[in-house]
Structure 1
Amino acid sequence: MSALTLEVTPFRSPFDDQDADVTLHTSDGAQFAVHKLFLTMSSPFLKRCLVLGSSSPSPAFEGLAVRQEGGRDAIDLVEDGVTTERVLQYCYPFSNPILENLDDIQAVLEMMRKFGMKGMMNRVRSLLVQPSFLEEEPLRVFAIAYRFGFQAETRLAAQYTLRSPMFGPYVKELEHIPASVYHKLLQYHRKCSVAACSLTSDFSWFPAFASRWVWFQCDDCVHHSLSWPLADGKIYEVNAWFIEYMERAREALRERPCAKVVTDPLLIAEALDAAAACHMCRSAAYLDLSTLIGDHFTAEVEKATEAVELDIPF
């Protein structure tokens, strides 16, 4: 009996089909045996190159040429093997690859855009706005989304940048967008800050029953020097500790104009510590502040910032 032999190929599985009619060579030496059908269905540029026989389908493909190799068409790519494999997984009827970070997503999008794979780019764009990316790296998400023309994702990421100070750490993706776009983002941040801060000095947004809150009812605490009108048309004296809380909230909103700021436990704790000095306020301050912040203040901050337009051209 003849010995069992195992054929070893230089191709990366599962892109090693002997019936494939195109070989892709990547910049780091990886090889992929792929089917022309899937490439041409995914990319109009590769369709021109592989089916119509043009060796230079567009200026973006300068240096890309089809050659013959072992009875197949062969193309040399400047992309690396990992990125190429991920893009091919989108071209084929496979499960989508796992893209764990923004660098991976950006590399895949860049290759897809180069080859005109607009339909597949739309399948990748949703990965940009995963909660973990938006919360931890909103400025990077903003720059990447704008770079690739994803309007909804750009606007959503801009909203998440409000959770950070206006001048945050530098990110490399800013090099891929115009300075004018970043300037527009800073303007947006400032306008949102003004809108959110205005809530701390104008109580007309308070609910109709606001006069029942303890900081309007207590006469034992020191009152603020100013009286404040409410939605019922009446003017009320206000306990100083409450106005001090609103002033601290204003400073926080000036830096980070988002609803999350006013729920900061440290901000609330200072107000409650001051209220604890009064017998009447001590028993009611926690519940009343919780109602103000949870049911009204956060919603008004979101409403105020959502009304601010992100004036960025696409």
Structure 2
Amino acid sequence: MERSLMAGSMSPSPQFSGIVIKQEKGRDIIEIVEDSLTTERVLQYCYPFTNPVLENLDDVQNVLAMMKKFGMRGLMDRVRGALVQPSFLEEEPLRVFAIAYRFGFEAETRLAARNTLRHQIFGPYVKELEHIPASIYHKLLQYHRRCSVVVCGLTSDFSWFPGFASRWVWFQCDDCVHHSLSWPLSDGKIYEVNAWFIEYMERARTALRERPCGKVVSDPLLIMDALETAAHCHTCRPAAYLDMSTFIGEHFSVEVEKAIDTVDLDIPFHSPA
């Protein structure tokens, strides 16, 4: 919908890109080409009303684009929280990442990049990528790859296990088939390990390679085979579930997130133009 806004006798200063100003009967006229709903939402941010509800990322993006066009940088900061709603970050983190970078929101860009790790990096195309340089998307791919490498390393080096790890049943049981390799722990000793536990770690490595985040290692589908095998052993059966729950929930998933914290996104940021 195309509308006109009477600007009075003085032209706005500075002249913002995208605004068409023309003279008509001695008055400057600013043409607003945004749709009426977006305009209404922007005005709600301008006046002391309750902030509008932005139900989807298209709404957020439209409001931010209009605010940027009119140089409303202070108001843009009030929309940042709407961009990183938990549902958006969970379901569409790549879109959030591209929008956040486009408008110069560094904290939100980093948060969205972290949330993309919950998804396979080569997912469906999103139109917001057209608004950011290819180099930035490439750096996101590199970030995903570096995170994959660092967390996958946790599955083949047990030196990060807590000091009491040797008490877990997969180190204690002598009745199950042991893995062909023995494994050193942080206490400096080398232990034989039940094969079913190593098989779980190998499955976790494959999953982390595609989605490097702590949530992945607690996927029941990854754990199920290990617990089914453990259930056939009279030594492992009573302890396997509790020990696995403790290991994954209190140690493995936490260590994955700590490892990701060491990886820098390595993206240059800019302020909204």
Report the TM-score range of the alignment, normalised by the length of the smaller protein: over 0.9
Amino acid in the other structure paired with 1:310: L
Match of 1:93 in 2: 48
- Partners of 1:56 and 1:92 lie apart in 2 by 21
1:205-216 alignment, distance < 5 Å: 205-216=160-171
Aligned length: 269
- Partners of 1:86 and 1:185 lie apart in 2 by 32
Q: Secondary structure at the match of 2:235?
A: helix
1:253-272 alignment, distance < 5 Å: 253-272=208-227
- Say if 1:216 and 1:238, in contact at 8 Å, map to a contact too: yes
- The alpha carbon displacement at 1:282 in A equals 0.9
Match of 2:89 in 1: 134
- Partners of 2:23 and 2:140 lie apart in 1 by 43
Q: Secondary structure at the match of 1:112?
A: helix
1:98-135, CA deviations, whole angstroms, 9 ceiling, x for partnerless residues?
Answer: 11100000000000001110110000011111100000
- The alpha carbon displacement at 1:68 in A equals 5.2
Please tell me whether residue 58 in structure 1 is matched to residue 15 in structure 2. Answer: yes
- Say if 1:275 and 1:281, in contact at 8 Å, map to a contact too: yes
- Partners of 1:141 and 1:68 lie apart in 2 by 44
1:215-254 alignment, distance < 5 Å: 215-254=170-209
- Say if 2:23 and 2:29, in contact at 8 Å, map to a contact too: yes
- The alpha carbon displacement at 1:274 in A equals 1.2
1:157-176 alignment, distance < 5 Å: 157-176=112-131
- Say if 1:66 and 1:75, in contact at 8 Å, map to a contact too: no
Match of 2:231 in 1: 276
- Say if 2:19 and 2:30, in contact at 8 Å, map to a contact too: no
Tell me which of the two structures has the higher relative contact order, counting C-alpha pairs closer than 8 angstroms and 6 or more residues apart: 2
TM-score by length of 2: 0.93
Q: Secondary structure at the match of 1:65?
A: strand
- The alpha carbon displacement at 1:55 in A equals 7.2
Which structure would you say has the larger Rg? 1
- The alpha carbon displacement at 1:67 in A equals 3.8
- The alpha carbon displacement at 1:306 in A equals 1.2
In structure 1, list runs of 5 or more residues that go unmatched: 1-25, 37-48
Match of 2:32 in 1: 77
Match of 1:112 in 2: 67
For the structure 1 residues 149 and 255, does the alpha-carbon distance in structure 2 shift closer, same or farther, using more than 3 Å as the test? same
State the identity %: 74
CA RMSD of aligned residues (A): 1.9
- Partners of 2:176 and 2:134 lie apart in 1 by 51
TM-score by length of 1: 0.82
- The alpha carbon displacement at 1:255 in A equals 0.4
- Say if 1:193 and 1:255, in contact at 8 Å, map to a contact too: yes
Amino acid in the other structure paired with 2:235: M
- The alpha carbon displacement at 1:64 in A equals 2.5
- Partners of 2:57 and 2:173 lie apart in 1 by 53
Amino acid in the other structure paired with 1:64: I
Amino acid in the other structure paired with 2:21: L
For the structure 1 residues 55 and 277, does the alpha-carbon distance in structure 2 shift closer, same or farther, using more than 3 Å as the test? closer
Amino acid in the other structure paired with 1:189: H
- Partners of 2:244 and 2:23 lie apart in 1 by 70
In structure 2, list runs of 5 or more residues that go unmatched: none
- Say if 1:197 and 1:253, in contact at 8 Å, map to a contact too: yes
1:115-167, CA deviations, whole angstroms, 9 ceiling, x for partnerless residues?
Answer: 11011000001111110000000000000000000000000000000000121
Q: Secondary structure at the match of 1:64?
A: strand
Higher mean displacement: 228-237 or 57-66:
57-66
- Partners of 2:199 and 2:149 lie apart in 1 by 19
1:84-109, CA deviations, whole angstroms, 9 ceiling, x for partnerless residues?
Answer: 11111111111111111000000000
- Partners of 1:125 and 1:178 lie apart in 2 by 21
Match of 1:309 in 2: 264
1:23-66, CA deviations, whole angstroms, 9 ceiling, x for partnerless residues?
Answer: xxx52x6x78xxx9xxxxxxxxxxxx657x23795361453235
- Partners of 1:55 and 1:247 lie apart in 2 by 63
